[in-house]
């Protein structure tokens, strides 16, 4: 809801479109989208098996979670494709995304802050590119599955010797 509501806070000259992936059917969401000044800029595409490719085709990835999560796979996948992410500043997403280094943190439930982050990235292609590259590097260096497996095995070996 906060992400859809953020569309209301975008300036008229910001032509952002919102692409919602997943189960996005509800009367409340219909009402919220219908109340926007630009409801035609919100696109619900349902569940997709190619969600990472869809995220890679977008300029920015947003996960405005209002409840703490572990390490959200969707954020990791978006970062691996060099997409800057806008995430709430708590839970696992705040651990994965380094604020102003590989993405932007916003407070939970703050639609105007989400809109401001979208506007900031929309208006600055160099910043999007910089944050996107840093996002990909952060995932490769800090959240690499092979490195995690190697570190876990090393720990197990240390514990049994």
Residues 6 or more apart whose Cβ sits within 8 Å of residue 86: 60, 61, 62, 63, 64, 103, 104, 106, 114, 117, 118, 121
Q: pLDDT at residue 145 above 90?
A: no
Strands (E), the chain: 18-21, 42-46, 61-63, 85-88, 103-106
Q: Which of 6-10, 17-21, 48-52, 58-62 has the lowest mean pLDDT?
A: 48-52
What pLDDT was estimated at residue 151? 81
Q: How confident is the model at residue 8 (pLDDT cuts 50, 70, 90)?
A: very high
Strongest mean pLDDT among 72-76, 128-132, 141-145: 128-132
Cα atoms in the Cβ-side hemisphere of radius 13 Å centred on 122:
16
Strands (E), 34-155: 42-46, 61-63, 85-88, 103-106
Mean pLDDT of 105-128: 97
Taken in order 140, 107, 13, 43, the sign of the CA dihedral is: positive
Q: pLDDT at residue 148 above 80?
A: no
What pLDDT was estimated at residue 75? 94
Q: What is the pTM of this model?
A: 0.87
């Amino acid at each position: 809801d906060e992400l859809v509501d953020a569309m209301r806070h975008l300036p008229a000259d910001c032509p952002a479109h919102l692409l919602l992936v997943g189960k996005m059917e509800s009367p409340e969401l219909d009402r919220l989208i219908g109340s926007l000044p630009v409801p035609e800029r919100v696109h619900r595409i349902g569940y997709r098996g190619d969600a990472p490719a869809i995220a890679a085709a977008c300029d920015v990835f947003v996960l405005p979670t209002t409840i703490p999560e572990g390490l959200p796979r969707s954020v990791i996948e978006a970062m691996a494709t060099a997409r800057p992410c806008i995430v709430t500043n708590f839970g696992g997403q705040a651990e994965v995304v380094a604020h102003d280094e590989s993405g932007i943190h916003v407070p939970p439930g703050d639609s105007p802050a989400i809109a401001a982050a979208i506007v900031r990235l929309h208006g600055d292609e160099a910043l999007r590119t910089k944050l996107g590259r840093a996002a990909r590097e952060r995932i490769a260096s800090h959240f690499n599955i092979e490195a995690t497996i190697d570190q876990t095995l090393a720990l197990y070996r240390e514990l049994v010797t």
